[in-house]
Amino acid sequence: MRFAVSLLCLLSFAALAAEVEGVRIDDKTRVGNADVTLNGAGLRKRLFFKVYAMGLYVTQKSANAAALIDQPGPKRVAIRMLRDVSADAFNEALNEGIRANHSEAEVKALEPRLKELGAIIAEVKEAKKGMSIDLDWTGADTQVMVNGKPAGKPIPGADLYKALLKIWLGDKPVQDDLKQALLGS
């Protein structure tokens, strides 16, 4: 009986969070005044390097990428750095992911806000191992959070946040197995 109770406690704790490469990713968090739930979590690799652990938080869990991208309400892309990455390399990776999933005209329309986002990332100078970078959608703006604190001004436009989500969830994601992990698959 004692074993069954211990196992049940262990299983319920496991349901409360995900762990990716030793990084604990909580099952719930808050964006602004709203609770969001972990939809999925995974590991971003580049070649054989482990770059970051990440989680996707939404108000309504789904295994459908398009539904998650279009879902109204607050969201968070939670990135936990596993290695040091320069701001230039981080920005280039974001831009590559956006270009891969959008037409030239769509990228051009996003360009001024991508420059704003790039400037915020550039101010950070380097995404250091252990750093947390959250890309929050408040329902009106994209807010970059570094180690739990706002970085830069909020950037308006749902199209920008949707473009960011497509980096990981689009038709041409940066990594197929990461997309599946974020979808909870």
Q: Is the pLDDT of residue 82 over 70?
A: yes
Spatial contact of 151 and 123, defined as CB atoms under 8 Å apart: yes
**What's the CA gap between 129 and 131, in Å, rounded?**
6
In the chain, domain spans: 2-182
| Span 58-81, pLDDT tens digits | 999 999 999 999 999 999 999 999
| Span 103-141, pLDDT tens digits | 999 999 999 999 999 999 999 999 999 999 999 999 999
Q: Which CATH class is domain 2-182?
A: alpha beta
| Span 9-27, pLDDT tens digits | 444 344 457 899 999 999 9
Spatial contact of 178 and 54, defined as CB atoms under 8 Å apart: yes
**What's the CA gap between 83 and 28, in Å, rounded?**
25
Spatial contact of 18 and 45, defined as CB atoms under 8 Å apart: no
**What's the CA gap between 132 and 65, in Å, rounded?**
24
Write the DSSP string, 39-65: EEEEEEEETTEEEEEEEEEESS--S-H
- pLDDT above 70 coverage of the chain, percent: 91
- pTM above the 0.85 mark? yes
- In the prediction, which pLDDT does 17 show? 73
